[in-house]
Amino acid sequence: MLNRLKILKRLRLARNAYRHGRAICDYPPLKLWVELVNGWAPAAASKMEFGLFRRIVDQSASYVAEMELSYRGESLLHPLLPQMIAYARKMGIVTCLETSAAGMSEGKSVKIIEAGLDRITLWLDRSAAETGGGAQEDNIVANIEDFLRIREELGRSSPYCVIALSNTGDRFVGLSALDDVKSRLDHSGAERIVLSEPGREEPPGMGLNRDELEQVRVCFPCPYLWYSMVILCDGSITLCCRDWENANPLGSIIETRLESLWNGETMTTVRELHVRKEYGQIELCSGCNVIWKPRMSGRPKIELSRCSGILLSACRRLRSILSGARGRGKDFFSDI
């Protein structure tokens, strides 16, 4: 089990490696995305076996601070999700989950809260909800309210809850409509409510070729490459959390340890290209908005939020252990 105080040292190493553009990192990854389910329909979704999940946790518990238990599918479809949350937590890993509020039920709410989940993001895609009619939207909002009510009734302060109101798809309903939904949820008890809309973060220079793109963008190396890895439901490891098609496979945790792939040839080459700002040589990265997101005090906001979030997660978990109230701390790590 990872000593949470060691995270401070790991964070310092990660920030220094990122700032100085080191392609080889003298520390293991701080965060893992673990794809428990690949797919959104119950009949067609592929699910990670519990034995594989346990192998991932056992191998990474000595260095991973946080584990996101979702990627390209609806993790609520996994029948062993509560057991997976509980096992990761038992091994000292902060657990997070992003899920559609449409799939939440009272039974699932009770199980994942009691399992000790640290953070949950409940997505409400309002465009999709409106396609199904106003009743569907009302049901989703009711699911969110029920989840937070159950958390209160159980006497828990975790998981820390983020409600993400998305406005994607073919039916763009406008931010004013999203504000209406937000006003309904303002007193739900959620720690944070986020509004988003399509096109808000469209990269400058879209439509230009790669050479022209390099000239108009003000970019920086992607922080994901210096602190996280992604494991798919079959054990495959992909380059980045934005590599939805697994076009840049690194290997498999079934055959190779994570530490070896973390500083493997592919990872180090891509880090070097990012340091030289040669994003055009990587198809996945050339059109990604992460490399041009806003900065704060000269540092990319995404890098600051990741590191500060992991630190806050660790500190709150350590405090809960010392106070004898393990399982009641909130996780302030945010991917929104």
**pLDDT tens, position by position, 221-231:** 888 899 899 99
pTM given for the model = 0.79
Q: Which comes out higher in pLDDT, residue 234 or 129?
A: 234
Q: Token pair for residue 63?
A: 């260095």
Percentage of the chain beyond pLDDT 70 is 70
Q: Is the pLDDT of residue 159 over 80?
A: yes
Average pLDDT value for residue range 206-227: 64
Q: Token pair for residue 213?
A: 């793109």
Q: Is the pLDDT of residue 35 over 60?
A: yes
Listed range (117-131, 149-163, 169-183, 197-211) with the worst mean pLDDT: 197-211
* 9-14 contacts at long range (C-beta below 8 A, 24 or more positions apart): 10/63, 10/65, 11/307, 11/310, 11/311, 14/226, 14/227, 14/307
Q: What is the pLDDT of residue 297?
A: 43
